[in-house]
Amino acid sequence: MKGLNPFMFLPSISLLNGLIAWWKMDEESGTRINANNPYSHNLADNNAIGFAAGKQGNAASFAGGGVNNWLQAPHHSSFVMADYPFTVAGWLYPLVGGDTTAAIIRKGTPGSLSGEWGMNRTSAGVVTFIVRTAANTTPSVATAGGTATNSAWHFIIGEHDPATDLISCELNRAAIGTAALSGGSYVGTNVLNLGGASGGTVEYKGLMDEFAVWRRLLTTEEKDQLYNAGAGMTYPLS
């Protein structure tokens, strides 16, 4: 029927399987709650993260520009990628003025020794998934998933598939990049940051919404459902 969302009747309960955290980013200030389990993996607010209209409800608004502006969760083994199947996904709305290499989400600094994994946006707008090797060697492994232009929403996915020894990065269910990663990622005790890191040198400027982490790979159907023809979706998923 005309006007119906083609994904609205698909079962979504499977997306709860292996789900570690889902941050809706609906809060106007303060801690951003993990909707999947409000008692763990909440994101603490560093230096007054704002809000704005999001892809679904509100979004977290990051000021960028070296003001030490980010969200942070303590280290937890659930966010250690190691050699497990692993997926991170969410929505970005970049704005002009972020740092040259802006941190989207990262556990430590994967480009440096003892970092673990993360997603960045380069000065050219390219979204990358970067992983520190299990042996903690230089260089780390990175793959690019496409260009996230300013003032537009983009859906990003980073994955690690231990069965194929690949990491992948994709943008808007279209541009997909892969890179070989044998043995998985470095196992560390780094905190999890969204939007920046201590020191204020990698700060993202723009909005983030509906970010989630799974300890498994998602199916093609599940990724399509999350993207929802560009409309996105929010928690609860059933």
Q: Is the pLDDT of residue 35 over 50?
A: yes
Average pLDDT of every residue of the chain: 92
Q: What is the pLDDT of residue 7?
A: 42
Which domains, and CATH codes, for the chain?
A: 18-225 (2.60.120.200)
Query: Is the pLDDT higher at 199 or at 177?
Result: 177
Q: Is the pLDDT of residue 126 over 60?
A: yes
Mean pLDDT score, 120-146: 93
- The string over 99-121, giving b where at least 16 C-beta atoms fall within 10 Å of a residue's C-beta and e elsewhere, is bebbbbbbbbbbbeeebbbbbbb
Q: Is the pLDDT of residue 176 over 60?
A: yes
Q: What is the pLDDT of residue 199?
A: 64
Q: Is the pLDDT of residue 233 over 90?
A: yes
- Specify which of 8-12, 120-124, 161-165 reaches the highest per-range mean pLDDT: 161-165
Backbone conformation region of residue 8, classed left if phi is above 0, alpha if psi is from -120 to 50, else beta: alpha
Query: Is the pLDDT higher at 2 or at 120?
Result: 120
Kindly indicate the confidence band of residue 33, based on its pLDDT and cuts at 50, 70 and 90: very high
With a pLDDT cut of 70, the percent of the chain lying above it is 93
Q: What is the pLDDT of residue 208?
A: 98
